[in-house]
Chains A and B, each alone.
Chain A
Amino acid sequence: MNQREDKKILLAHGGGGRLTSNLISSLILPRFDNEVLGKLTDSAAIELSSSSVLFTTDSFVVKPLFFKGGDIGKLSVCGTVNDLAVAGAKPVALSLSLIIEEGFETALLERILDSAANTAAEAGVRIVTGDTKVVEKGSADGIFINTAGIGTRVAGAELSFDKITPGDCIIINGTIGDHGMAIMSKREGIEFELSIESDCACLADLTCKILESTPGVRFMRDPTRGGVAAVLNEIAEGRRCDIEINEKPVPVNPAVKAAADMLGFDLLDIANEGKVLIVASQDSAEAVLNICRNHPLGRQGQVIGRVAETAAEAPIVEMITAIGGKRIVRTPYGRDLPRIC
């Protein structure tokens, strides 16, 4: 777009006319250039190597838009890539839909698009189709993004609750709570400078490596909102089994813990964007762990628990604490409020 124009996004940019095509040709195409997107057809045509296709979607409304370790652009690609990855797929293509508030700064939009483009390129996925809408001031909080993604199932990867068996190991690829605490620092009313970064990252390379070489993986899920606590409870409920977790091996960044302590949060409840919980058979746990630890996104991987027997009554997630105590881990309440007094 030329200098004279558009430091801010106008309603007309979403109108489908000249400004829209300018926006597409100058901001979007150059960043996501690939032959599918470049055709600018109403729908993208993609050849898939398998008919076992997985499909997912997610919307991103994160606030603040920019945080240490990422931004909404990176998040919108990682989030959908990860949903495919943990379901046992190799991600192939994404759609990218933007809903932009009138008056949004073009420079910020460019930063976000750069981020999305770089993240997609690093993850080896193409953004093949998309949409841009602009709404009146006040109708969207800056920018909302939706991404949908398709992937092909990794051969032999049949992941489900039903596959989970008592005795299976529960593995996590790294430190917990980083993303949620990094976001917290930028929220209104909380002014502190954190040394910690969001762990926002695309996990597909790691998960595909694990699935391609290890037969015993039963189930995977990424602990986003609600943290590890929520996912452990989902597994317990989904499979009607009790789960035992050991607090000591759970990887924690001391700086993240210090921030959580200051605000009264339990890191088990806090969101992650670059982590995956893997349920694997006892026999394959070591192999899974080795692949993790040899991968940049899994160096601090640990076995943190195991699937106990089928639940007698309501399933429980029980934790042995660092001092040898016992407590349960529950799904957290929806909203995190800092404690003080």
Chain B
Amino acid sequence: MCLAVPARIVELADDRAVVDAMGNRWKCRTTLTPDVKLGDIVLIHAGFAITTIDEEEAQKTWELIAEFDEFQKEQEKGSPIE
């Protein structure tokens, strides 16, 4: 019920922003997070930023992709696919 993804604010004017998530740009409103600044990482849901995310935590979530890759290399030793 709560699809939301982290994205970085790359443009900001009043309560309208453009955010970037892995190179994709979306428009969003920052009405619910009035204190955000350019460069902040926010969580976007239904076209609105609902909170800022601590940069380190956001990297961890994104980094999970890199972690999965490492995990995959470990798993490949015992991979069910030969």
Contact = CB atoms under 8 A, between A and B. Distances in A.
The answer to whether any beta carbons of A and B sit under 8 Å apart in the complex is yes
Interface of A: 169, 191-196, 244, 246, 248-249, 254-255, 257-259, 261-264, 282, 303-306, 320, 322, 324, 339-341
A246 B81 contact: yes
Nearest to A246: B81
B64 to A, nearest CB: 9
A248 B75 CA distance: 9
- Describe A's contact surface by its main secondary structure: mixed
Given A246-B79, A341-B46, A255 B3 contact: no
Given A258-B22, A262-B26, 12 more contacts: A191-B26, A194-B23, A195-B25, A196-B23, A246-B79, A246-B81, A255-B23, A258-B5, A258-B24, A262-B21, A322-B68, A339-B3
Which of A193, A258, A340 has its CB near the most chain B CB atoms (within 10 A)?
Answer: A258
A194 B80 CA distance: 35
Interface of B: 1-3, 5, 21-27, 44-46, 65, 68, 71-72, 75, 79-82
Contact of A261 (B5, B27, B71, B82): B5
A340 B47 CA distance: 10
A255 B1 CA distance: 22
B25 A248 contact: no
B3 A340 contact: yes
B23 A248 contact: no
26 contacts: A191-B26, A191-B27, A193-B24, A193-B25, A195-B25, A244-B80, A244-B81, A246-B79, A246-B81, A248-B68, A248-B71, A248-B72, A249-B72, A254-B65, A258-B21, A259-B22, A261-B3, A262-B21, A263-B3, A264-B3, A282-B82, A306-B82, A322-B71, A324-B75, A339-B3, A340-B46
